[in-house]
């Protein structure tokens, strides 16, 4: 038992991948779950399939959408105990030099606005409710915010910036609100999209890199490419007032060991299972 029964979590980006896995897990733990999701079809699907899940269509880039989401959650459930940020977009370019410079500024604005400012907006909108409940915030970071070469260059910058957002909010909101960050590794069922400014809004990791899941097995010592559900339990622990009570300002690497070797540069992706077994 995690002590989440009857508590309320507001999540950004709960329509698929890691976000949906967290919605499902918190519902299993007895929490009331609301999620802000840009795709209305995903809002409808998750709301219909997950008990106690309140889907809210909206864009975290818009202050009015974050404020509307907070208002709806308070009207429905009476409070907010935890805010979780998973909404994000990535750019499918490994380097700044790979961009057409005319498209660099609008793409940078879209990625940073979504991945950084969007979470600041929703956190400030929920601040008073979280202070009243003495709750917590959990933001989703990335190994790409630590090591270069993992995903898009702009995505990496945005996740690095979000790391400091975690620390700043932890500093500002103490002692009433705990604020932590989670660094997951590759997520097998991720549906993260690209920016409209680059025409990548329909792209996904597997559509861009069909062999990603197999390659990901060679990017970490555990040789796994787990689904979003494998990470959800850590969010439960951090949200729990009992199990997470001493943590704030923490950045938890939960990345299958990628942090031991960077983004897999020390591993040969062509290594056979037989060769691996001998090491």
Per-residue pLDDT tens digits of the chain, which is 279 residues long = 567 999 999 999 999 999 999 999 999 999 999 999 999 999 999 999 998 899 999 999 999 999 999 999 999 999 999 999 999 999 987 688 877 888 889 999 999 999 999 999 999 999 999 999 999 999 999 998 998 877 789 999 999 999 999 999 999 999 999 999 999 988 989 999 999 998 999 888 888 888 888 888 888 899 999 999 999 999 999 999 999 999 999 999 999 898 787 654 433 443 334 334 333
The pairs formed by 233-238 with CB atoms below 8 angstroms and a separation of 24 or more are 233/25, 234/182, 235/22, 235/25, 235/26, 235/84, 235/138, 235/182, 236/2, 236/4, 236/25, 236/26, 236/29, 237/2, 238/136, 238/138, 238/178, 238/180, 238/182
Do 218 and 147 touch, CB atoms closer than 8 A?
Answer: no
Residue 274 is predicted with a pLDDT of 38
Catalytic residues: 155
Q: CATH: 1.10.3720.10, 2.60.40.10, 3.40.630.10, 3.40.50.720. Which one for 8-277?
A: 3.40.50.720
Residue 2 is predicted with a pLDDT of 64
Query: How far is Cα 177 from Cα 239, in angstroms, rounded to an integer?
Result: 11
């Amino acid at each position: 038992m995690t002590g989440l029964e009857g508590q309320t979590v507001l999540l950004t980006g709960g329509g698929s991948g890691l976000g949906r896995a967290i919605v499902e897990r918190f519902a299993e733990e007895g929490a009331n779950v609301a999620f802000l999701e840009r795709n209305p079809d995903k809002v409808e699907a998750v709301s219909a399939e997950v008990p106690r899940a309140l889907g809210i269509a909206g864009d975290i880039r818009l202050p009015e959408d974050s404020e509307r989401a907070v208002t709806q959650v308070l009207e429905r459930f009476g409070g907010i105990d935890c805010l979780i940020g998973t909404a994000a977009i990535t750019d499918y370019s490994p380097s700044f030099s790979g961009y057409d410079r005319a498209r660099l500024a609008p793409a940078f604005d879209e990625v940073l606005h979504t991945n950084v400012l969007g979470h600041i907006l929703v956190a400030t909108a929920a601040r008073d409710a979280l202070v009243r409940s003495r709750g917590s915030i959990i933001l989703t970071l990335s190994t790409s915010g630590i090591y270069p070469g993992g995903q898009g260059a702009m995505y990496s910058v945005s996740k690095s910036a979000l790391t400091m957002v975690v620390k700043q909010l932890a500093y500002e909101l103490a002692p009433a609100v705990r604020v932590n960050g989670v660094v997951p590794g590759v997520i097998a069922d991720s549906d993260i999209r690209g920016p409209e400014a680059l025409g990548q809004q329909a792209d996904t990791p597997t559509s861009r890199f069909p062999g990603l899941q197999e390659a990901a097995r060679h990017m970490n010592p555990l040789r796994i490419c787990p689904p979003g559900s494998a990470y959800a339990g850590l969010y439960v622990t951090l949200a729990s007032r009992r199990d997470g009570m001493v943590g704030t300002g923490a950045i938890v690497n939960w990345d299958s060991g990628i942090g031991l070797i960077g983004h897999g540069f020390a591993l040969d992706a062509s290594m056979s299972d037989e060769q691996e077994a001998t090491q």
